[in-house]
Amino acid sequence: MLVAAAVLGFAAVGPMGVAGPAHAGALGSTAIGTFTYEVRGAAVKVPVGCFLTHRIDGSGKRVSGQLAGVDCVGAAATFSRFCNWRIDFAYADTNGRAYRTARGATHAECDGAPLRRAGARTLPAYGKACAKLFVNGRLRATQCHYITK
Q: Which amino acid is at 70?
A: V
Q: What does the alpha-carbon distance between residue 75 and residue 68 come to, in Å, rounded to a whole number?
A: 22
- Structural domain of 11: 2-147
Q: What pLDDT is attached to residue 26?
A: 86
pLDDT of residue 19: 37
pLDDT of residue 7: 43
Domain count, the chain: 1
The whole model's pTM is what?
0.82
pLDDT, residue 79, reads 86
Per-residue pLDDT tens digits of the chain, which is 149 residues long: 344 444 434 444 444 444 334 446 689 999 999 999 998 899 999 999 999 999 999 988 999 999 999 999 998 998 899 999 999 999 999 999 999 999 999 999 999 999 999 999 999 999 999 999 999 999 999 999 999 87
